[in-house]
Amino acid sequence: MLVAAGALVDVDGRVLIARRPPGKAMAGLWEFPGGKVHEGETPEIALIRELQEEIGVDTRQSCLAPIAFASHTYDDFHLLMPLFACRVWQGTPQPLEGQELTWVRPARLGDYPMPPADIPLVAILRDLL
């Protein structure tokens, strides 16, 4: 499964993470916004679409910088997840799909329980930001 994720970084250097809502797989865990790449989409286009659908922000492909990827085997699928940094977008992030949003300093990302695929990305973000 190919999933694109975004590390939105605000002017204070904080990263936006979202808590998976009840009823979804891995509910209660924190993750970087994003979602599945549909057939015919690039990861960048999928992320732009997902950011609009999930949190109501608009960005452009030129504002996405690929910084890392996660490759993780879950019990019933394998996940490949490119992570893009994004510092420029329009709109204020809003929880449009029942999730909770919070801004976190990179050094504190490890304080939030995350799905196994996201955990290695935390150290990379701490080093880069």
Query: Where does the chain show beta strands of DSSP type E?
Result: 3-8, 15-19, 30-31, 34-36, 64-73, 78-86, 100-104
Q: Quick one: pLDDT at residue 129?
A: 87
Q: Quick one: pLDDT at residue 122?
A: 95
- Give the tens place of pLDDT for each residue, 66-99: 999 999 999 999 999 999 999 999 999 999 999 9
CA distance 109 to 15: 8
Instruction: Return mean pLDDT, the chain.
Output: 97
Give the H or E element holding residue 9.
none
Q: Quick one: pLDDT at residue 64?
A: 98
CA distance 117 to 5: 11
* Predicted TM-score (pTM) of this structure: 0.95
Domains of the chain from N-terminus onward: 3-128 (3.90.79.10)
In contact, 93 and 55? CB cutoff 8 Å: yes
In the predicted model, what is the mean pLDDT of residues 100-111? 97
